[in-house]
Amino acid sequence: MMARTRRKRRREIKRLPRTDATLPEYDRRAVPQGLVTRRQLREMNRSPGGHAPVAVLRCKGCSYRPQWSCIHPTRAWLYSVDLAKPKRTPTLAQEWALDRAMAARQTCSGCGRRFHNCLSKKLGCCLECFDGTPVDPSSYIAPTASGPHRLAA
């Protein structure tokens, strides 16, 4: 008995007329004042603050189809600058926890040196401990003899 070949199903495109879209849509270079993307909010040191997007920035391809709403993954959500809140600053305990997590990823298990970049998970140590390749002294912080405190900051 021979196995049946599977037929590929065509992906159904769910097009909506632009008037039926739930959020207003704007083409590039036609966005009203006060609406920005997440990246622009981040540059202004602000966050959406829990608010939902208020409009959609249409992708470049949909500018040729003004009657249809944009359903492509390259569209962007637009947020209101008035509703945005300032970014939260981390507490000292949060910074301490992040630094310890990065120290675990940057410290060689063989020689104990903390590098400025993360070490390979596959190797588990630095190149010098793995195969003897010399390491540039400016790429790591030498271990101190005083104890376990090796924070970079």
The two beta strands, 85-86 and 46-47, are antiparallel
pLDDT in tens, the chain (153 residues): 667 777 776 656 566 666 666 788 888 888 999 999 999 999 999 999 899 999 989 888 777 777 777 777 778 899 999 999 999 999 999 999 999 999 999 999 888 899 999 998 898 888 889 998 888 888 888 776 655 555 555
Q: Please, are residues 31 and 40 in contact by the beta-carbon 8 Å criterion?
A: no
